[in-house]
Amino acid sequence: MEEIIRIEQLTKRFHKNILFEAVDLSIYKGQSIVFTGKNGSGKSTMLKMIAGLTSLSSGKVHRSQELLIHYIPEHFPRKKMSAYQYLLAMGKIDGCPIFELKNRIQDLAEDFYMSEMLHTPLSFLSKGTLQKIGVIQALLRTPDILLLDEPLSGQDERSQKVFITKMKSLLEERVTIIMSCHEKHLIRAISDTAYQIENRKILPTAMSTFDSEAVFHLVFIDEQGKAVLPDVAFSIERFDNQVRLSVPASQTNLLIRQMLDNHWTLRGMQDENSD
């Protein structure tokens, strides 16, 4: 296997807090890695250090060559420019020919069901739509490494399926994919290597850890017109004053309590296998 990144004795401190300590890791061409761990464990910071977007306290990140790295953050910046203007500008920075770039933007927007939103200002778009724009930006030109921070946290089911198909196509081209993720179905679909971030270290994790768990579809309605959707890392679909969330069985009780606390009324619950 061709090693393209080697992390050597990496340490990262925030003031007196040590997030990572003396971490060693090799990353190979065409590999699909997932980082898991509790919120605040350092998953996003590790992606940023690999991308060169934040500094190390000590240690090195060695790259075997000049690599094109695309990074998709979980929280996308809300700008006044339109989605189309943003994608056009980013594509030009990446060196995409203008005619090909315009066609590529249109094609990808259709693939992700957001053609009608291309000329909407970024500041008016939902978290899920902003994530789609981040994915489209990353796909305008095929990178050597694609870094994904919780890529499905705001996506509906059909967009998830498109996303997984696109990621599998990149892996066939031997693009290296590195992501932080909670969704077991996404991990199973595209990852071949897993690491748990825990106690300042990156620990190898068996892929069997992500074996299938029952998923339930929960439908909630905003009866009083004052419900607020909490920031949850599950697939969400919206229909007027209703939302449908796809939730692992182990998380249903917690999710229901969160939704009820935010003025939603539960209207239905169904095992996905009975659809």
Condensed to tens digits (0 to 9), the pLDDT of residues 41-86 reads 899 999 999 999 999 999 999 998 889 999 988 777 777 899 999 9
Q: What is the pLDDT of residue 88?
A: 94
Residue 213: pLDDT band by 50, 70, 90 thresholds?
A: low
- Domains of the chain by range and CATH? 44-210 (3.40.50.300), 215-274 (no CATH)
Q: What is the pLDDT of residue 38?
A: 87
Summarize pLDDT for 11-20 with one digit per residue, the tens.
Answer: 999 888 899 9
Mean pLDDT of the chain: 89
What percent of the chain has pLDDT above 90?
59
Strand partners, 149: 180
Q: Are 37 and 43 in contact (CB under 8 A)?
A: yes
Residue with tokens 């489209």: 136
| Among 207, 204, 198, 211, residue whose Cα is nearest residue 248 | 211
Q: Hey, what amino acid is at 208?
A: S
Give the burial class of 39: count Cβ atoms within 10 A of its Cβ; 0-12 exposed, 13-18 middle, 19 or more buried: exposed
Q: Are 76 and 131 in contact (CB under 8 A)?
A: yes
Determine the Cα–Cα distance for residues 187 and 266; give it in Å rounded to an integer. Answer: 29
Q: What is the pLDDT of residue 275?
A: 45
Give the burial class of 43: count Cβ atoms within 10 A of its Cβ; 0-12 exposed, 13-18 middle, 19 or more buried: buried
Q: What is the pLDDT of residue 119?
A: 93
The residue among 65 and 26 whose pLDDT is bigger is: 26
CB atoms within 10 A of CB 159: 22
